[in-house]
Amino acid sequence: MQEDAGPPTARARHRDEAGIEFARIVAFSDGVFAIAITLLVLAFDVPTSSEDLGSQLWDQRHELFAYALSFAVLGKFWLAHHRFFSSVERFDSTLMGLNLLYLAWVALIPFTSEVLGDFSGESDAVIVYAVSIAGVSITFQAQIVHSYRADLVRDWAKPLAHRFTGPANYWIAAVFLASVPVALLSPSAAELMWLLTFFAGRRISDRFGRVRTR
Amino acid sequence: MQEDAGPPTARARHRDEAGIEFARIVAFSDGVFAIAITLLVLAFDVPTSSEDLGSQLWDQRHELFAYALSFAVLGKFWLAHHRFFSSVERFDSTLMGLNLLYLAWVALIPFTSEVLGDFSGESDAVIVYAVSIAGVSITFQAQIVHSYRADLVRDWAKPLAHRFTGPANYWIAAVFLASVPVALLSPSAAELMWLLTFFAGRRISDRFGRVRTR
Amino acid sequence: MQEDAGPPTARARHRDEAGIEFARIVAFSDGVFAIAITLLVLAFDVPTSSEDLGSQLWDQRHELFAYALSFAVLGKFWLAHHRFFSSVERFDSTLMGLNLLYLAWVALIPFTSEVLGDFSGESDAVIVYAVSIAGVSITFQAQIVHSYRADLVRDWAKPLAHRFTGPANYWIAAVFLASVPVALLSPSAAELMWLLTFFAGRRISDRFGRVRTR
Amino acid sequence: MQEDAGPPTARARHRDEAGIEFARIVAFSDGVFAIAITLLVLAFDVPTSSEDLGSQLWDQRHELFAYALSFAVLGKFWLAHHRFFSSVERFDSTLMGLNLLYLAWVALIPFTSEVLGDFSGESDAVIVYAVSIAGVSITFQAQIVHSYRADLVRDWAKPLAHRFTGPANYWIAAVFLASVPVALLSPSAAELMWLLTFFAGRRISDRFGRVRTR
């Protein structure tokens, strides 16, 4: 812990010099993720009457799909945030601003997920959801690119620049944005695209990423 | 705190090598638990008119039962998670994935608990609740079994393998699943089964667990 | 940080031996407090039409009173929890169980506070609120008494036993319980009692508590 | 970590002497911020029918404006809180009380933001929002002024007294309060004032603040 380390200055601050502050940013981000991921449950509709209780609960399967998908997406982004921030050595005000912008997209997911759960067959709902995920992905990537440009990463992470900032990282954003026109024709096809990206895609993007780092 | 400990690798990482990251996972899990347990309160219905206010509040006794039960169940699972993770030395990506899956079940409880509170006399509501608790229990056990198989636990915890992974640990999941067919006949009988498990059961399962470890 | 400190045993564990675990309990409690205190805002009713918007917002003054009161009460309990736990050296499973029971009462306040805000002139609403605050206060006191009896406190806190466990500490619970019969006659008089306790009462109870410790 | 550091006394306590307690206050504040900022999402109205889904979602642009504004405002206040608390060396009970009062205003934003989103063209909604932001700003400034008066700041921060407590810091509160009469004539003009303050204003106030510190 630093003691009277001097006034915060405009230059980027080293993680150890500013240990508590770095920890607060990370903890705050974790807090927003934990809350957003737990608020996803509010998308479920509690049945209003005991008549047809079974079928009302069965209708919640769309909400369950949206819940599972959003939980997986947010969980994966949280893990990626976690992994990336372990390579960050210093932070500057731009990184903090980008991180807040990123969290604003993350915190939007409980709403877009609820819309998707309620209207999973509708193009508009699918588009809103796809845009929100793309927003999370792009603002995350912006943080990584900035950290490399502003030289905020730890030494061991420097050779991994291509892995973290290369084209493979735009895979998720690209697929979700590409699903927007698809959703206009067929919402189900767009949702299928997401699942393919999410599960098969990672394998592909990992391989892409690794090729160059070695 | 580690300094430039090198890039995260595919092998499981030691808790101290990855101290901050381990702490983040645990803190994130605690956050989800704290939020889920506090969201249970949303199950209560605020009366809508001052007429019959007393009887509307009195009607909330079912919600209170569901609240108390869910708070106790989540509290107990949190303590168990707490206890188990103190014996974990390293983590790998499977453990992190299983933990997220586990948290997805945990975060579902505020919904299933609200359904139970609103329709405590209905089979469907009781079944949904029982399945959600069994889901939490099974995904928790999956983490423990994986940690032992992948050798992620601390030395002192190794002789306790049977205690943590033995059949006694499936007690809660078994009773809640067994209550599903019971609920079809009598929802109240199913709820009674849970209470018996929860209070008497622990004593029994503790004894079971201890027999072999000594 | 302890390393392979050995298996958790039945005896109470020292704070430093079990540093991480102690920190987790405290952080979990803080989390529940922070969430409950922030959920208080959900008690406000967002107006439904732009007609008479001003008067609909003005009607929220009862909600504002309940919000301010509950924020102050929860804030004060949090500070007291904070202060007391800094004197705790070890914890046992009873203390953890009592702490969970305490948190269950704390997490109930957003509901009872909303009821109070919506029906501040009704005896039943006032009684429900008074009982919930008394519940928080009594389960807090139970933790303190247990910690002293089971010898879990730090050395410097031992001479303060009377201060922490003496009759002055039952002041809040006593006044809130005493306000129950008062509320049957006059809800406003009961609310006035709370405010007097809360502001004047502290001064009195502090003086009471200090007399004996010197 | 302090060991049996002696009983908490009435005098202000040094940050290191009371390390855990200081960290708890900061973590609690962060928790309230993280929850409040994530609850902002609840202001969005999930469409109720699939008819006109597109236009119902398009209607949410007012909510999106309120969401983005409130996220930016709360994010900025969080960063400022973060920056200021890194200069605080000790705390006393007044600072803790002021911090709680401040958090009570922060936790109110999800409500006032929802009102603004739903009725962005109405004077009353704009006034309620402006007052809530001014409340956050003033109670924040009160903490800073108190910390300087009670000599709670670190040595390096002492020469910055004018920067932190000078008139430039009342800029935000002043503009939001000044927007109240403006909103009576034109709600849109008031909202425009905020945006100007928020983006241009900072630059101006920064320059003001810096002039004297050099």
Residues of chain C with pLDDT under 50: 1-10, 15-17, 208-214
Residue D12: pLDDT over 70: no
Distance to chain D for C31, nearest Cα, Å? 7
Within 8 A by CB and 6+ apart from C152, the residues are C12, C88, C89, C90, C91, C92, C95, C146
> Do the chains contact at C124 and B54, CB–CB below 8 Å?
yes
Q: pLDDT per residue over A145-193, tens digit each?
A: 999 999 888 888 888 887 777 777 788 888 899 999 999 999 999 999 8
Q: pLDDT per residue over D139-179, tens digit each?
A: 999 999 999 999 888 888 888 887 777 777 788 888 899 99
Who among D31, D36, D107 is closest to C31 (CB)? D31
CA–CA distance, B172 with B137 (Å, rounded to integer): 7
> Do the chains contact at A157 and B108, CB–CB below 8 Å?
no
Which of A37, A51, A58 is the best substitution to test chain B (most B C-beta atoms within 10 A)? A37
Who among C24, C27, C124 is closest to B53 (CB)? C124
Contact residues, chain B, for A31 at CB < 8 Å: 31
pLDDT at A206 (0 to 100): 54
Per cent of chain A over pLDDT 70 is 82
pLDDT at B57 (0 to 100): 87
Contact residues, chain C, for D5 at CB < 8 Å: 156
Q: Closest chain C residue to D116 measured between Cα atoms?
A: C46
pLDDT at C6 (0 to 100): 45
> Do the chains contact at B44 and C111, CB–CB below 8 Å?
yes
List the subunits that have 3+ CB pairs under 8 angstroms with D.
A, C
Instruction: DSSP for D94-141, please give it.
Output: HHHHHHHHHHHHHTTHHHHHHHHHHTTT-HHHHHHHHHHHHHHHHHHH
Distance to chain D for C165, nearest Cα, Å? 16
Distance to chain B for A184, nearest Cα, Å? 31
> Do the chains contact at D35 and A36, CB–CB below 8 Å?
no
pLDDT at D14 (0 to 100): 52
Contact residues, chain D, for C75 at CB < 8 Å: 100, 103-104
Taking any CB pair shorter than 8 Å as contact, residues of chain C touching chain D are: 16, 19, 26-27, 30-31, 33-35, 37-42, 44, 46-47, 50, 53-54, 57, 67-68, 71-72, 75, 78-79, 82-83, 86-87, 154-157, 160
Q: In this complex, how many residue pairs, one in chain C and one in chain D, have their CB atoms less than 8 Å apart?
A: 88
> Do the chains contact at D47 and A119, CB–CB below 8 Å?
yes
Residue D138: pLDDT over 90: yes
- Amino acid letter at A87? S
pLDDT at B2 (0 to 100): 38
Q: At D180, give phi and psi (nearest 5°).
A: -60, -55
Distance to chain A for B139, nearest Cα, Å? 15
pLDDT at D2 (0 to 100): 38
**Cα→Cα distances D99→C39, C69, C79, C206, D94, Å:** 18, 16, 12, 22, 8
Q: Distance between alpha carbon A55 and the CA centroid of its chain, in Å?
A: 33
> Do the chains contact at C107 and B57, CB–CB below 8 Å?
no
Distance to chain D for C119, nearest Cα, Å? 19
> Do the chains contact at A107 and D27, CB–CB below 8 Å?
no
Over range D39-65, report the average pLDDT: 89
Answer whether A111's CB lies under 8 Å from D41's CB: yes
- pLDDT tier at B89 (50, 70, 90 boundaries)? confident
Distance to chain A for B36, nearest Cα, Å? 6
Q: In this complex, how many residue pairs, one in chain A and one in chain D, have their CB atoms less than 8 Å apart?
A: 87
Taking any CB pair shorter than 8 Å as contact, residues of chain A touching chain D are: 1, 3-8, 18, 20-21, 24-25, 27-28, 31-32, 35-36, 39, 42, 96, 100, 103-104, 107-108, 110-111, 114-115, 118-119, 121-122, 124-125, 128
Over range D113-131, report the average pLDDT: 92
pLDDT at D93 (0 to 100): 84
Q: Residue D89: how many CA atoms within 13 Å on its side-chain side? A: 16
Q: Closest chain C residue to B49 measured between Cα atoms?
A: C119
Q: pLDDT per residue over C81-112, tens digit each?
A: 888 888 888 888 899 889 999 999 999 999 99
Within 8 A by CB and 6+ apart from A32, the residues are A103, A106, A107, D34, D37, D38
Per cent of chain D over pLDDT 70 is 82
Who among C5, C8, C111 is closest to B41 (CB)? C111
Report the run of H or E that residue A91 belongs to, with start and end: strand A90-91
> Do the chains contact at C107 and B38, CB–CB below 8 Å?
yes
Q: Closest chain B residue to C26 measured between Cα atoms?
A: B30
Give me the torsion for CA of C166, C169, C175, C181, rounded to 10°. -60
* More confident: B33 or B53: B33
Over range A137-152, report the average pLDDT: 93
Contact residues, chain C, for B26 at CB < 8 Å: 20, 24
- pLDDT tier at D1 (50, 70, 90 boundaries)? very low
Contact residues, chain C, for B68 at CB < 8 Å: 104
pLDDT at B59 (0 to 100): 86
CA–CA distance, A95 with A90 (Å, rounded to integer): 9
CA–CA distance, B91 with B18 (Å, rounded to integer): 9
Q: Closest chain B residue to C5 measured between Cα atoms?
A: B156
Contact residues, chain C, for B35 at CB < 8 Å: 31, 35
- pLDDT tier at B108 (50, 70, 90 boundaries)? very high
Contact residues, chain D, for C72 at CB < 8 Å: 100
CA–CA distance, B154 with B169 (Å, rounded to integer): 20
pTM for the complete prediction? 0.86
Sign of CA dihedral C128, C129, C132, C133: negative
Three-state secondary-structure class, residue D12: coil
Who among C26, C30, C53 is closest to D124 (CB)? C53
Distance to chain B for A182, nearest Cα, Å? 29
Q: pLDDT per residue over D172-211, tens digit each?
A: 888 899 999 999 999 999 999 988 876 665 555 555 444 4
**Region for residue B51 given its phi and psi (left: phi exceeds 0; alpha: psi -120 to 50; beta: otherwise):** beta
Q: pLDDT per residue over B182-208, tens digit each?
A: 999 999 999 998 888 766 655 555 554
Q: pLDDT per residue over A88-128, tens digit each?
A: 888 888 998 899 999 999 999 999 999 999 998 899 999 99
3-state secondary structure chain B: CCCCCCCCCCCCEECCCCHHHHHHHHHHHHHHHHHHHHHHHHHCCCCCCCCCHHHHHHCCHHHHHHHHHHHHHHHHHHHHHHHHHCCECEECHHHHHHHHHHHHHHCCHHHHHHHHHHCCCCHHHHHHHHHHHHHHHHHHHHHHHHHHHCCCECHHHHHHHHHHHCHHHHHHHHHHHHHHHHHHHCHHHHHHHHHHHHHHHHHHHHHHHHHHHC
Q: pLDDT per residue over C6-27, tens digit each?
A: 444 445 555 444 555 777 888 8
Distance to chain A for B53, nearest Cα, Å? 20
Instruction: DSSP for C125-156, please give it.
Output: HHHHHHHHHHHHHHHHHHHHHHHHHTT-B-GG
Contact residues, chain C, for D41 at CB < 8 Å: none
Within 8 A by CB and 6+ apart from A94, the residues are A146, A150
Report residue B211 as tokens: 């027999």
Query: Within 10 A of C151 (CB to CB), how many other CB atoms are there?
Result: 11
Report residue A66 as tokens: 């949206």
